[in-house]
């Protein structure tokens, strides 16, 4: 008998080269059974695509639209509603303010910046005779709007506070409207006729990548985008009524002046407050303002003002709808079904490989080696499913954009989502592969080698 | 090289106990070519599986190349198997998805050799069995005899100390069987110890020593080894074989 030898150990760093070997084997094994492989890859691909399509819309919808200042922009709500019943069932104040209150807050100038606004649709009468008159959607607001929400300018600049005061007949166009009317040329200084009134163009916006119109959620965060902007003072001067939502808890009475003085809410009021101290001061100011109004017989309800920031407002208004969350849940349930199917197929595939497993064990593979090999093979299935799923997700988003035009700005794949897709596919497949792999490495080598 | 003392193997189901091996003792010396014979169900395959560390045993002692096998965990047995043993099966057991080169590569991968070393060993062992020119072929493109030669090349590539063969010619016609047998004899002459299980008396007669197994026990031990003169073996190996006989 020869001298006892220590148990031989493996050479240096066999782990990494073995993983490369397993990847190679996994890839070959996929090609070996094209039908089974296709079934698994299609299953995972479909599940992934369904999940990622809905998740992408959900992710981009819920994301902060203006991360660098969303905590400084606040939406003002004042509870001027009836003593008998609240504006909303949960007791929260109405989601817009009255003209009187908006004017009072604007002239008080207690915030760092402030902009009341409403939605207005006007007929445009182009200079260019080849274009027929058409209706355009606009935003009627104050000069501060541009400093608060920061749309980029291609030509010119916003109007100024003096022009707000002076009811100036000025307008800012979006890039799209400027393209349509002036072929994309610098149109500042030129005149635009809207509803028989001439306005001077002072600025043209550049492409404004607004995923949704968070500054006017009340009139639909995903509704058609605004095409022009003009001073609110000018629009009121010309007695232009909002084409957005209007709610009243009592009759406004007859005539334009009565409407302006009524308790009907139809304006959105935003303020920019640059520090927490300014926020606290503004809260106090609102409370004292409402207390003053109570003395005049308005605001019959208990004090109920709110100052939500952009993200709080998005959540409060359910911009991410319940439907969207349910759809995403269902899509993930579908992915789970696809994975259960993959577990079955992997089980069948690995069971057929019992002979090879026994052989590899006999030739020196440990249980852990077999476990790693088959887990890597599952991962390769997942990776292939992920690549297919990515393609299908892109198609799914094309379909979402085609079917729901309001989601066109959020139904886009970004890098986070591409990486999430691949990672989700690989992790799902590896999870699906755990049980079949565990079964595979339980194979008794001796039982498989007698043929 | 291999020593089993009073080894037993019991298979238990909830109804019955089956003694596959009982009080089984054998000693195989370095450089020997031993044929294990016996009728079906006598326990010769159980013996081979235990010798190959593919199965555990119930009682007794087992030393493989000086290593006490009792108490080794699965991992340690895998490594020992990988480094010291080579297997040749009746059904060849080549992996159909892999070409000859990659089939021979399998045990070397688990050994942790680098790429250059693996390539050298694969080419050398395929040359030794006369199939170097068909490295890129797949098993299905070969005859049975050629497939068994690949299996032998695979067993040899890791330079095993002991080659275990289970009916290596069972699936071959007599012409191919003779070729494979001649190859095994040549491998043995070059110094590798071989234990071959067979029920073919003609084949067994060509081994140096026969061990007959019946009802899980060694019944007839031809214990006078007629050693072939090793062609390349180091003298130290011959000395090692000259010691101790067990029965």
Residue ranges of B 174-233 with Cβ closer than 8 A to chain A? none
Residue ranges of B 82-101 with Cβ closer than 8 A to chain A? 82-84, 87, 89-91, 93, 95, 97-98
Q: What is the mean predicted confidence (pLDDT) over A26-41?
A: 88
Q: Residue A408: count other Cβ atoms within 10 Å of its Cβ.
A: 14
CB A58 within 8 Å of CB A420? no
d(CA B137, CA B187): 24
Which residue has better confidence, A267 or A224? Answer: A267
d(CA A406, CA A61): 11
Tell me the per-residue pLDDT of A100-142, one tens digit each, with 9 for 90 and over: 999 999 999 999 999 999 999 999 999 888 889 999 999 999 9
Q: Residue A68: count other Cβ atoms within 10 Å of its Cβ.
A: 8
pLDDT at position B245, please? 39
Chain A residues lying within 8 Å of B110, measured CB to CB: 10, 14, 18, 360, 363-366, 369
Least confident of A256-270, B163-177, B233-247: B233-247
d(CA A41, CA A383): 9
Query: Torsion angle, CA of B63/B67/B73/B75, rounded to 10 degrees?
Result: -120
| CA dihedral sign of residues A355, A356, A362, A368 | negative
The whole-chain average pLDDT of chain A stands at 89
pLDDT exceeds cutoff 50 at A12: no
CB A215 within 8 Å of CB A65? no
CB atoms B82 and A363 under 8 Å: yes
Query: Torsion angle, CA of B50/B53/B56/B59, rounded to 10 degrees?
Result: 60
Q: Residue A13: count other Cβ atoms within 10 Å of its Cβ.
A: 10
pLDDT at position B222, please? 62
Minimal Cα–Cα distance from B174 to chain A, Å? 19
Exposure class string for B92-101: b at 16+ Cβ within 10 A, else e: bbbbebbbbb
Residue ranges of B 119-158 with Cβ closer than 8 A to chain A? 154, 158
Tell me the per-residue pLDDT of A363-415, one tens digit each, with 9 for 90 and over: 988 888 899 999 999 999 999 999 999 999 999 888 888 877 667 777 778 88
Chain A residues lying within 8 Å of B76, measured CB to CB: 7
Chain B residues lying within 8 Å of A10, measured CB to CB: 79, 110-112
Order of all β-strands in the sheet with B67-68: B17-28, B2-12, B59-64, B67-68
Q: Which among A1, A13, A449 is the nearest to B3, CB-wise?
A: A1
ipTM over 0.90: no
- Minimum CA–CA partner of A373 in chain B: B110
pLDDT at position B239, please? 40
pLDDT at position A389, please? 92
d(CA A341, CA A343): 5
CB atoms A7 and B76 under 8 Å: yes
Strand partners, A125: A193
pLDDT exceeds cutoff 50 at B235: no
Give the domain ranges of chain A: 18-64+321-448, 79-304
CB A272 within 8 Å of CB A112? yes
Q: Percentage of chain A surpassing pLDDT 90?
A: 59
pLDDT exceeds cutoff 50 at B230: no
pLDDT at position A451, please? 41
Q: Does B71 touch chain A (CB under 8 A)?
A: no
pLDDT band for A15, please (50, 70, 90 cuts).
low
d(CA A348, CA A439): 11
Tell me the per-residue pLDDT of B129-188, one tens digit each, with 9 for 90 and over: 899 999 999 999 999 889 999 999 999 898 899 999 998 888 888 888 888 899 899 999
CB B26 within 8 Å of CB B62? no
d(CA A332, CA B150): 49
- Minimum CA–CA partner of B56 in chain A: A446
Q: What residues of A are in the B interface, CB distance below 8 Å?
A: 1-14, 17-18, 21, 28-29, 32, 355-356, 359-369, 444-446, 449-451
Tell me the per-residue pLDDT of B179-222, one tens digit each, with 9 for 90 and over: 889 989 999 998 999 999 988 888 888 898 889 888 888 876 66
CB atoms A366 and B79 under 8 Å: yes
CB A374 within 8 Å of CB A433? yes
Residues in chain B: 247
Helix (H) or strand (E) holding A377: helix A367-403
CB atoms B30 and A369 under 8 Å: no
Query: Which among A162, A163, A156, A159 is positioned nearest to A178, based on CA atoms?
Result: A156
Tell me the per-residue pLDDT of A41-76, one tens digit each, with 9 for 90 and over: 999 999 999 998 888 888 777 778 888 999 999 999
- Minimum CA–CA partner of B45 in chain A: A450
CB-based contacts of B73, cutoff 8 Å, min separation 6 = none
pLDDT at position A28, please? 86
Query: Which among A104, A36, A46, A37 is positioned nearest to A76, based on CA atoms?
Result: A104
- pTM of this structure: 0.69
């Amino acid at each position: 008998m020869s001298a006892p030898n220590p148990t031989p150990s493996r050479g240096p760093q066999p782990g990494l080269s073995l993983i490369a070997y397993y990847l190679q084997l996994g890839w070959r094994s996929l090609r070996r059974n094209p039908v089974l492989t296709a079934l698994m890859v299609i299953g995972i691909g479909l599940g992934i695509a369904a999940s990622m399509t809905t998740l992408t819309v959900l992710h981009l919808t819920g994301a902060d639209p203006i991360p660098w200042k969303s905590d400084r922009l606040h939406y003002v709500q004042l509870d001027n509603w009836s003593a008998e019943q609240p504006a909303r069932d949960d007791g929260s104040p109405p989601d817009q303010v009255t003209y009187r209150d908006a004017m009072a807050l604007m002239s008080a100038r207690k915030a760092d910046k402030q902009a009341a606004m409403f939605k207005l649709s006007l007929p445009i009468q182009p200079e260019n005779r080849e274009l027929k008159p058409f209706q355009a959607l606009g935003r009627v607001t104050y000069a501060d709007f541009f400093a608060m929400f920061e749309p980029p300018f291609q030509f010119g600049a916003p109007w100024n506070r003096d022009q707000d005061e002076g009811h100036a007949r000025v307008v800012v166009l979006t890039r799209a409207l400027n393209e349509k009317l002036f072929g994309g040329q610098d149109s500042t200084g030129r005149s635009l006729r809207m509803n028989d009134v001439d306005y001077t163009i002072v600025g043209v916006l550049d492409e404004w990548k607004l995923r949704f119109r968070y500054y006017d959620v009340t009139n639909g965060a995903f509704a058609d985008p605004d095409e022009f902007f003009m001073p609110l003072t000018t629009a009121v001067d010309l007695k232009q009524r909002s084409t957005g939502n209007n709610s009243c808890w009592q009759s406004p009475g007859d005539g334009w002046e009565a409407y302006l003085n009524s308790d009907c809410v139809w304006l959105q009021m935003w303020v920019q407050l640059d520090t927490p101290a300014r926020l606290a001061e503004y809260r106090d100011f609102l409370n004292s303002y409402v207390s003053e109004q109570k003395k005049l017989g308005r605001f019959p309800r208990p004090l109920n003002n709110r100052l939500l920031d952009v993200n709080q407002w998005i959540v409060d208004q359910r911009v991410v709808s319940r439907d969207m969350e349910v759809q995403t849940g269902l899509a993930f349930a579908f992915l789970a079904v696809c994975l259960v199917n993959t577990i079955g197929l992997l089980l069948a595939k690995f069971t057929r490989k019992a002979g090879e497993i026994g052989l590899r064990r006999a030739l020196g593979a440990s249980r852990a080696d077999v476990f790693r090999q088959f887990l890597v093979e599952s991962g390769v299935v997942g990776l292939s499913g992920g690549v297919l799923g990515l393609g299908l997700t892109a198609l799914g988003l094309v379909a979402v954009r085609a079917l729901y035009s309001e989601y066109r700005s959020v139904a886009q794949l970004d890098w986070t989502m591409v990486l999430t897709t691949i990672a989700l596919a690989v992790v799902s497949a590896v999870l699906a592969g755990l049980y079949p792999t565990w079964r595979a490495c339980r194979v008794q080598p001796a039982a498989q080698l007698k043929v | 090289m291999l020593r089993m003392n009073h080894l037993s193997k019991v298979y238990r189901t909830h109804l019955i106990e089956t003694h596959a091996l009982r009080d089984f003792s054998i000693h195989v010396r370095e450089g020997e070519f031993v044929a294990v014979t016996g009728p079906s169900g006598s326990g010769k395959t159980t013996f081979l599986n235990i010798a190959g560390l593919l199965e555990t045993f119930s009682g007794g002692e087992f030393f493989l190349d000086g290593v006490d096998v009792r108490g080794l965990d699965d991992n340690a047995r895998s490594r020992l198997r990988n480094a010291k043993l080579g297997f040749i099966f009746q059904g060849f057991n080549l992996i159909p998805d892999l070409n000859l080169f990659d089939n021979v590569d399998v045990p070397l991968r688990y050994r942790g050799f680098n790429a250059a070393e693996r390539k050298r060993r694969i080419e050398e062992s395929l040359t030794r069995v006369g199939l170097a020119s068909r490295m890129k072929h797949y098993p299905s493109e070969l005859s049975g005899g050629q497939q068994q030669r690949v299996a032998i090349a695979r067993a040899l590539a890791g330079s095993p100390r002991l080659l275990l063969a289970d009916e290596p010619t069972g699936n071959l016609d007599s012409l191919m069987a003779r070729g494979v047998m001649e190859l095994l004899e040549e491998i043995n002459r070059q110094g590798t110890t071989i234990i071959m299980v067979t029920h073919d008396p003609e084949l067994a007669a060509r081994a140096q020593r026969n061990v007959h197994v019946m009802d899980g026990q060694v019944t007839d031990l031809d214990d006078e080894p007629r050693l072939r003169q090793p062609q390349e073996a180091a003298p130290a190996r011959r000395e090692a074989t000259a010691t101790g006989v067990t029965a």
